[in-house]
Amino acid sequence: MLPEKLNTKKKVIEALKEENILPASAMSPNYKYVCFICEGCYEAHFVDKVEHILCASPTKFFFKCSGENSHGTRKTEGGFINLVSIKYKFLKGHQTQIQWYCETKLFDKAIDSL
C-alpha cells in the first residue's frame, strides 16, 4: 500500500494520536547506508543524514527534509515530514517503510494544537 499524504491538520492530528510518540532523543537512526525515498521531494534520504524531530515506538522516526532535491529544482517551502518505520529483516538488513507523510508546516500546526 502506498503511503498516504495527509493534507489536513485534522488528519495529521488523528494520525499522531495513533502513535506512541517519543522525544527525538529516545532513539537514534544511526544506520549506515539505509535510506528511504521521500514521498514529498522524491529524493532518497539517508536516515543517518536527515534530521529526525520525533520518534515513535517501535523504531519509527519522523524525518524532516528540506524539500529541496539534489539539483535544487523541486523546492518546496518548509519541506516534508515522513513517518518512517525501520525494521531489521534477516539477510536483507534494515528496511524502511513510510507510514505517511505531510508538509512540515502542516505537521507543525498539528503538533501545536495537540
Instruction: Give alpha helix (H) positions in the chain.
Output: 9-17, 104-112
Surface-to-core class of residue 4, CB atoms within 10 Å of its CB (0-12 exposed, 13-18 middle, 19+ buried): middle
Q: Which stretch binds Zn ion (CB under 5 A): 6-14, 18-26, 62-70, 105-113?
A: 62-70
Shortest distance, position 43 Cβ to Zn ion, whole Å = 5
Query: Cα–Cα distance between 100 and 79 in angstroms, integer?
Result: 14
The least distance separating Zn ion from the CB of residue 65, rounded to whole angstroms, comes to 3
Beta strands in 1-114 (DSSP E): 4-5, 20-23, 35-37, 44-46, 51-57, 60-65, 80-89, 93-103
Question: Does 65 sit near Zn ion (CB under 5 A)?
Answer: yes
Write down the least CB distance from residue 75 to Zn ion, Å.
11
Pick the closer one to Zn ion by CB: 56 or 65: 65
Give the x/- contact pattern for Zn ion in 19-58, rule: CB under 5 A: -------------------x-xx-----------------
Beta carbon nearer to Zn ion, 29 or 40: 40
Name the residues that contact Zn ion, by CB under 5 A.
38, 40-41, 65
